[in-house]
Structures are given as C-alpha cells and as structure tokens.
Amino acid sequence: MPVEGPLRLPRRAAVGLAIALVGVLATACLGGLAPPPLRRGMVRERTVTIRVEGTPGLPFEGSYGTPTATRPVQGRVPAAYTVTTAVAVTAAFTKANAEGELVVRLLLDGHEVARRATRHPYGTVTLLYQVMR
C-alpha cells in the first residue's frame, strides 16, 4: 500500500527519538572538548620556601607542608623550610614565648607571595598559598 504525505510518528516516539539524537550529537561534538585526565608530570611542581623570621632566637613550634601532608617542627628564629608541590602549601607556627615577633614568609621563585606576622603572646601565624592558579 503506497504512503502519501509525510511520515508521521506517534508523539511519544518522536520525543524519544529527539532526545536520543541530542544525546548522540552532544557526545560527538563535546567529546573532543573535554580535557585529558591529569597524570603525574603533567602539572608543574613548584618549590616554595617558608622563612620563619622575626625576633632572633625566638623559639617556635608548628608544622608545614601540603594540605594533605604536614611535618611538625620546633626551632628558633631564623629558620627556613622548603615544600615541593603542584597544588598548595600550608604553614602554621606558634611562638613559644610571650614576647617577640614571629614573621612567616612564603617565597615562590625567590619572590614573596605571602606574609603574616604576630606580636601577640604565644601568637600563631597560619598561611595557605595555592601554587596552581
């Protein structure tokens, strides 16, 4: 039997077909725009120097590292530590005395990128710096 005129699908079938076509087109068109997965070595690691300064000889304690792994330390001003990371650096230091000033500086490629200080008795300095921007 010959069919005359346009082919007509039931409304429900037409909507289902349209949704399927949009999904296929979106996958085909946008598939090339997704970034590749990150692998070790793809993101540049940076070395950040943490300088603990202020009143010479001032005792302190604290920790430094990355947001997922820190190392506890005790020392006296001045002191310096390094962290190599592709993400972020965290540092928290507390004065072990009431007197004196504690200054913590973060240097990236020799340039100061963050600085905090305290003169409060037994004061704490906390820094978080995002390396990957």
Which pLDDT value is given to residue 49? 98
Helix (H) or strand (E) holding 18: helix 11-30
pLDDT at 115 over 90: yes
Which pLDDT value is given to residue 41? 60
- State the Cα–Cα distance between residues 75 and 86, nearest whole angstrom: 27
One-letter amino acid of 64: Y
Given a contact cutoff of 8 angstroms between Cβ atoms, the answer to whether 124 and 92 are in contact is: yes
Query: How many C-beta neighbours within 10 Å does residue 34 have?
Result: 7
**Mean pLDDT score of the chain:** 82
- State the Cα–Cα distance between residues 70 and 104, nearest whole angstrom: 16
| pTM value surpassing 0.85 | no
Q: What token pair was written down for 1?
A: 């039997």
Which pLDDT value is given to residue 10? 59
Q: What token pair was written down for 12?
A: 């429900």
pLDDT at 8 over 70: no
Which pLDDT value is given to residue 34? 47
